Structure 1
């Protein structure tokens, strides 16, 4: 006789608001919804064939992740992050991820590195195939695999949140510059230094990798936003 699973052990299926939030998040990140664009609950509900309730819940999730904001008389709007705040986010990334890597490398095993080695070709394939939707997910998965052994749950959660906020801008940079090739080279070098156990060089290289990506992105966004203002 088949035993019924315990209610506490049942796997929860993704809820409708979560599914909506994931779909809307991807549309924001890939630029379909532009900065400053209003998201109308009724229109979104009609588009997806659902009631307004799950849309409202999805909006709350997107607002919590910093992708949209609620404005008086405008409702929910795709959030535009000021350049100085984007710069700050990359400074935080450099600071926190460097600390995570330093703590993690002392504990990393062959099993940890096996995960990283499995993810890197997937990330490079996404770059080569212009699979934009996978860039942010796989980039975070690659970096996370190098930090997981640190066992710093709260810090990892903060860093992941920062990556979500900056993902759409990083995609833009990769699309409009030679950033994909640079990222490939950097990721392979970072993995090499980590495998060698050279903690100091690995941490320094990671910090420079993040800082350079941030600087390149700020320059690109300044030009883009200046053109949009003048148009």
Structure 2
């Protein structure tokens, strides 16, 4: 098998994964092999392999006689993923703070200022993610950062707008600026404690928003 043929399933997988995580594909949407093969200009073989990999990641379900469909995610699964987020991100922040430089603080502050100026709730989730990424990057742990990104991608499928709409922007932003201040002051324990509280509040907002939908 040539190098290009080996790379094809990976490229197809990554493209479909991105489409799922960004909401281009919705829960229950079919992923037809023939259509995907035409879209990517390949045979069905690399498409089939890409779909197998996406199934192992929990993003799709391969159903007998029906093919692949985008897998939904339940509120209970999201809460568990947010628990995992606490563990991963608190550790990353703990490792990051001693390595932070002036440039890191400036980047994080610039993101928060843009966040403050935005009136579009649909963009808040992305800016929230960029801010947290800026805080964790100095930890210099490639696998840990990759796990954080993968976990966040799964969570964001469910919470992309719900948490923002439920909790608004004022309180999360207040906590973001305080978190940045603690990082600048090298207050590691206090920063980690605030980050835990910050994510736990997102969980509470999500659950409250879900209760409203059920009533």
TM normalised by structure 2 equals 0.77
For 1:37-52, list aligned pairs within 5 A: 37-45=29-37, 48=39, 50-51=41-42
Q: 1:128 aligns with which of 116, 119, 127?
A: 119
SS at match of 2:204: helix
Partner Cα distance (1:204, 1:131) in 2: 28
For 1:168-187, list aligned pairs within 5 A: 168-174=157-163, 176-187=165-176
Partner Cα distance (1:131, 1:52) in 2: 36
- The equivalent of 2:192 in structure 1 is 203
For 1:94-113, list aligned pairs within 5 A: 94-113=86-105
- The equivalent of 1:145 in structure 2 is 134
- The equivalent of 1:4 in structure 2 is none
Is contact 1:21–1:61 with CA below 8 Å preserved after alignment? no
Distance 1:105 1:17, change over 3 A: closer
Partner Cα distance (1:123, 1:21) in 2: 28
Render the CA deviation track for 1:177-203: whole Å, top value 9, x for unaligned: 243333322222211221122222211
Which runs of 5 or more residues in structure 2 are unaligned?
1-6
Question: What is the Cα deviation at residue 55 of structure 1?
Answer: 4.6
- The equivalent of 1:89 in structure 2 is 81
Distance 1:64 1:123, change over 3 A: farther
TM normalised by structure 1 equals 0.72
Render the CA deviation track for 1:107-131: whole Å, top value 9, x for unaligned: 2121322332233334445x52345
